[in-house]
């Protein structure tokens, strides 16, 4: 029975093998769960973009990662797929609480990520919520305590961490900082530091950015552990 269980992240031999030989071109060639593959197929996603091909095997293997590629290169699926996979492999359920957290600089970008998550995640049973400013915070409070994956803007997330009774991130498996350059440009550096202080140290952390400024590298040094560095320069 033990042998039939999924190996913990970081010890999946197939993922490690793919990371050393990044030859897979289609999502089907990756060791992804059936609900993820179905979601991708129904969403019309077949061939991986370069950033996805380069990043996903490393992330599936449990590594922290800094991924840089220009806007429009497909970074969203590069992190959403492995977040869903990690929770699926852990048999994450409602009772396990918050497992994945995606932080995005603006409401508009957070909404876009959430829409992609809804589309490719629709065959999964885990719950997902959107936590952005401009909506009634009280209404959000009830819901954020029940979600497995949250897509957030920094200010609103920190507000819930400080004020929402029952908001609990102690089980968090994966943190994603998306569009890190814009998060920093918008002045959220201190907010991100406070958020990260509230998160368990044992988590996996992924940082994505269109550009690699010194500020982004500094944030990477503070929030990532022995990360893979992936930069895609070509249009793809
Ligand atoms: P980024 O975050 O790097 O700016 P996005 O994740 O928003 O890029 O993706 C840009 C566009 O590419 C979106 O319209 C998305 O649907 C599309 N896209 C992403 N990955 C794929 C793929 N593997 N196959 C086809 N289209 C894709
Ligand atoms: Mg993006």
Say yes or no to pLDDT of 214 above 80.
yes
Tens digit of each residue's pLDDT (9 = 90 or more) over 183-193 = 999 999 999 99
The predicted structure's pLDDT at residue 22: 54
- Of residues 96 and 133, more confidence is placed in 96
- The answer to whether residues 148 and 97 touch, using CB atoms and an 8 Å cutoff, is yes
pLDDT for residue 128 is more than 60:
yes
Distance 213 CA to ligand 2 centre (A): 17
Task: Quote the pLDDT of residue 16.
Answer: 52
Q: What is the dihedral of CA 141, 142, 146, 151, to 10 degrees?
A: -40
Contact 84 CB / ligand 1 (< 6 Å): no
Q: Which of 76, 103, 183 to mutate to test the pocket of ligand 1 (most atoms within 8 A of CB)?
A: 76
Q: Whose CA is nearest to atom 5 of ligand 1?
A: 74
CB 49 near ligand 1, within 6 Å:
yes
Of 175, 150, 97, residue with least CA distance to 159:
150
Mean pLDDT score, 206-230: 96
List CB contacts of 89: < 8 A, sequence separation 6 or more: 6, 9, 33
| Dihedral sign of CA atoms 194, 80, 225, 217 in order | negative
How far does the centroid of ligand 2 lie from the alpha carbon of residue 122, in Å?
Answer: 20
Closest atom of ligand 1 to 49 CA is 23
Q: What are phi and psi of 159, to 5 degrees?
A: -60, -45
Distance of CA 168 to the CA centre of its chain: 18
Q: What residues contact residue 144 under an 8 Å CB cut-off, 6+ apart?
A: 129, 131, 150, 160, 164, 167
pLDDT at 1: 38
CB crowding 193-214: b at 16 or more within 10 Å, else e? eebbeebeeebbbbbbbbeeee
The mean per-residue pLDDT over the stretch 13-25 comes to 60
> CA-CA distance, 205 to 109, in Å (whole number)?
19
Prediction ipTM score: 0.99
The fraction of the chain above a pLDDT of 70, given in percent, is: 89
Which of the ligands is closest to the CA of residue 115? 1
The rounded Å distance from CA 101 to ligand 1 centre is 20
Two tokens, residue 90: 């852990």
Q: Which ligand is closest to the CA of 74, given by its number?
A: 1
Q: Is 151 in contact with 104 (CB distance < 8 Å)?
A: yes
Q: Is the pLDDT assigned to residue 102 strictly greater than 50?
A: yes
pTM value? 0.90
Tokens of 7: 């190996």
Give the mean pLDDT of the chain.
91
- Mind giving me the DSSP string for 25-88? -BGGGS---HHHHHHHHHTT--BPPHHHHHHHHHHHTT--EEEE--TTS-HHHHHHHHHHHHHH
Spatial separation of the C-alpha atoms in residues 81 and 222, rounded to whole Å: 24
State the pLDDT at residue 18: 54
């Amino acid at each position: 029975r033990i042998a039939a269980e999924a190996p913990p992240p970081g010890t999946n031999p197939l993922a490690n093998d793919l990371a050393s030989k990044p030859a897979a071109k289609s999502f089907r060639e990756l060791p992804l769960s059936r609900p993820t593959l179905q979601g991708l197929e129904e969403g019309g996603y077949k061939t991986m973009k370069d950033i996805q091909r380069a990043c996903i095997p490393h992330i599936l293997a449990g590594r922290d990662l800094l991924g840089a590629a220009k806007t429009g290169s497909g970074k969203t699926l590069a992190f959403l797929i492995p977040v869903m996979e990690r929770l699926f492999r852990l048999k994450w359920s409602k009772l396990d609480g918050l497992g994945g957290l995606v932080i995005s600089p603006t409401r508009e970008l957070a909404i876009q990520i959430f829409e992609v998550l809804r589309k490719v995640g629709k065959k999964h049973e885990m719950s997902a919520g959107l936590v952005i400013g401009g909506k009634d915070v009280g209404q959000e409070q009830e819901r954020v305590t029940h979600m497995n994956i949250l897509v957030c803007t920094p200010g609103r997330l920190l507000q819930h961490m400080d004020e929402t009774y029952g908001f609990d991130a102690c089980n968090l498996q994966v943190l994603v900082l998306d569009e890190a350059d814009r998060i920093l440009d918008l002045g959220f550096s201190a907010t991100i530091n406070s958020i990260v202080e509230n998160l368990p140290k044992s988590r996996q952390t992924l940082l994505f950015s269109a550009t690699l400024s010194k500020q982004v590298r500094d944030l990477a040094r503070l929030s990532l552990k022995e990360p893979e560095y992936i930069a895609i320069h070509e249009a793809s």
